[in-house]
């Protein structure tokens, strides 16, 4: 959730109460759905896309009570509320990652991609981060490396672990049970990585600018993971969903979004709720993306 919409308390930061105060105005504009960028608790290393607690509101935006009031206000005006959700990674300050560091023998270590150092203090592979440099952090306290495709504080979740998928789906259902109408899923096509995290092709890396991207931008279990979210969360709630899928391109997008492909492909595609398509801002003509 960016900070440029409306500041209700004069601290210079747009907030949830600011949205509440402008709901009638937004309704008058003909808007029928609001799309909030991340409002979850976060240290803000990447504008809230580094989530520290999925079930808590970032204090500078307000409280959960404010959020509940906003949701009620949106629905009472016949509008819907879409939230931005990041499940490829969490903040390194998330409880799961902190436990993984402090309790290396606990189950939380397998919530992320940890690799023990081989003895030469060298990264496990040559993958690079979208935020420049290596995609690996070294943690001397456990002599291990951990994967981060984005910032050094955004640690990739291991979706191969069924417990991770269970935790994420439980959290998604928690918000949907609250009454949220759906989600925009951030970099959702990156959740499946090739087994063993093999070296990236240097030629592809030089062409794309990111070494290793061919190992995860359309991973081997992507459809399996998307189907699981859809069947266990979105379908039971008749929820809207759209996925941000960087790197797929025009020809590959139909394989993850089209309704016809869903019917013919047994592996299923992206978790689609009330609408489908690569471009949510085109398909939902009255949707407002509130960037605070």
Q: What distance in Å separates the CA atoms of residue 266 and residue 185, rounded to the nearest whole number?
A: 22
Of 41, 92, 186, 228, the catalytic one is 186
68 and 189 in a single domain? The answer is: yes
What's the pLDDT tens digit per position in 51-73? 999 999 999 999 999 999 999 99
Q: 137 lies in a domain?
A: yes
What is the mean predicted confidence (pLDDT) over 220-248?
93
Which of the four pLDDT bands, split at 50, 70 and 90, describes residue 1? very low
CATH of the domain at 131: 3.90.400.10
Last residue of a domain, one of 156, 174, 205: 156
Give the domain extent around 112.
95-156
249 and 180 in a single domain? The answer is: yes
Instruction: Note the pLDDT of residue 144.
Output: 97
236 and 107 in a single domain? The answer is: no
Question: Do the beta carbons of residue 157 and residue 90 sit within 8 Å?
Answer: yes
CA 178-110-45 angle, to 5 degrees, is 60
29 and 121 in a single domain? The answer is: no
Question: Do the beta carbons of residue 150 and residue 46 sit within 8 Å?
Answer: yes
Last residue of a domain, one of 107, 130, 156: 156
What's the pLDDT tens digit per position in 2-35? 578 888 888 888 999 999 999 999 999 999 999 9
Q: 185 lies in a domain?
A: yes
CATH of the domain at 87: 3.20.20.80
Least confident of 44-48, 65-69, 94-98, 276-280: 276-280
24 and 81 in a single domain? The answer is: yes
Res 257 pLDDT > 90: no
137 and 281 in a single domain? The answer is: no
Choose between 275 and 135: higher pLDDT.
Answer: 135
Q: 225 lies in a domain?
A: yes
Ranges of beta strands (E only) in 58-181 are 80-86, 89-91, 114-116, 136-139, 144-147, 154-156
Q: 267 lies in a domain?
A: yes
What's the pLDDT tens digit per position in 147-197? 999 999 999 999 999 999 999 999 999 999 999 999 999 999 999 999 999
Cα within 13 Å of Cα(258), Cβ side? 11
Instruction: Note the pLDDT of residue 256.
Output: 73
124 and 251 in a single domain? The answer is: no
Q: 70 lies in a domain?
A: yes
Nearest of 161, 167, 158 to residue 190 by alpha carbon: 158
Question: Do the beta carbons of residue 43 and residue 98 sit within 8 Å?
Answer: no
Of 53, 68, 214, 244, the catalytic one is 244
49 and 169 in a single domain? The answer is: yes
How many C-beta atoms lie closer than 10 Å to residue 257's C-beta? 20
27 and 71 in a single domain? The answer is: yes
Res 277 pLDDT > 60: no
31 and 75 in a single domain? The answer is: yes
Instruction: Note the pLDDT of residue 68.
Output: 98
Q: What distance in Å separates the CA atoms of residue 4 and residue 291, rounded to the nearest whole number?
A: 6
3-state secondary structure of 175: helix
Res 261 pLDDT > 80: no
Residues whose CB is less than 8 angstroms from the CB of residue 107 and which lie 6 or more positions away in sequence, other chains included: 163
Nearest of 24, 16, 7 to residue 66 by alpha carbon: 16
121 and 20 in a single domain? The answer is: no
116 and 143 in a single domain? The answer is: yes
Q: 274 lies in a domain?
A: yes
Last residue of a domain, one of 126, 141, 156: 156
Helix or strand (DSSP H, E) at 17: helix 16-21
β partners of residue 288:
34
Q: What distance in Å separates the CA atoms of residue 235 and residue 34, rounded to the nearest whole number?
A: 21
Total domains present in the chain: 2
CA 54-85-55 angle, to 5 degrees, is 15
DSSP assignments along 128-139, one per residue: B-TTSSBSEEEE
Residue 232 burial by Cβ neighbours in a 10 Å radius (0-12, 13-18, 19+):
middle
- Judge whether 244 counts as a catalytic residue: yes
Q: 29 lies in a domain?
A: yes
Which of the four pLDDT bands, split at 50, 70 and 90, describes residue 260? very low
Determine how β-strand 80-86 pairs with β-strand 182-186. parallel
3-state secondary structure of 74: helix
Instruction: Note the pLDDT of residue 91.
Output: 98
Q: What distance in Å separates the CA atoms of residue 196 and residue 190, rounded to the nearest whole number?
A: 15
Res 284 pLDDT > 70: no
Residues whose CB is less than 8 angstroms from the CB of residue 147 and which lie 6 or more positions away in sequence, other chains included: 112, 113, 115, 124, 127, 135, 136, 155, 156, 197
Q: 206 lies in a domain?
A: no
What is the mean predicted confidence (pLDDT) over 137-150?
97
């Amino acid at each position: 959730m960016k900070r440029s919409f409306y500041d209700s308390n004069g601290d210079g930061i747009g907030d949830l109460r600011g949205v509440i105060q402008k709901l009638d105005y937004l309704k008058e504009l003909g808007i029928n759905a609001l799309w909030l960028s991340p409002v979850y608790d976060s240290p803000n290393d990447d504008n809230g896309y580094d989530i520290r607690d999925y079930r808590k509101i970032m204090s500078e935006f307000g409280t959960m009570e404010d959020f509940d009031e906003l949701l009620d206000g949106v629905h009472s005006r016949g509008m819907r509320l879409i939230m931005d959700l990041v499940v490829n990674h969490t903040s390194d300050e998330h409880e799961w990652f902190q436990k993984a560091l402090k309790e290396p023998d606990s189950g939380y270590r397998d919530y992320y991609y940890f690799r023990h150092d081989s003895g030469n203090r060298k990264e496990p592979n040559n993958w690079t981060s979208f935020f420049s440099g290596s995609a690996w952090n070294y943690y001397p306290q456990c002599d291990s490396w951990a994967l981060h495709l984005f910032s050094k504080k955004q640690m990739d979740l291991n979706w191969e672990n069924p417990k991770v998928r269970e935790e994420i789906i439980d959290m998604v259902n928690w918000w949907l049970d609250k009454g949220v109408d759906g989600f925009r899923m951030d970099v959702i096509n990156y959740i499946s990585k090739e087994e063993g995290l093999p070296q990236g092709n240097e030629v592809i890396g030089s062409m794309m600018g990111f070494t290793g991207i061919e190992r995860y931008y359309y991973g081997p279990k992507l459809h399996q993971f998307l189907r699981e979210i859809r069947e266990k969360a979105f379908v039971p709630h008749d929820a809207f969903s759209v996925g941000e899928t960087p790197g797929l391109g025009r020809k590959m997008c139909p394989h993850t979004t089209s309704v016809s492909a869903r019917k013919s492909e047994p592996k299923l595609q992206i978790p689609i709720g009330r609408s489908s398509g690569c471009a949510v801002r085109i398909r939902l003509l009255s949707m407002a993306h509130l960037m605070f």
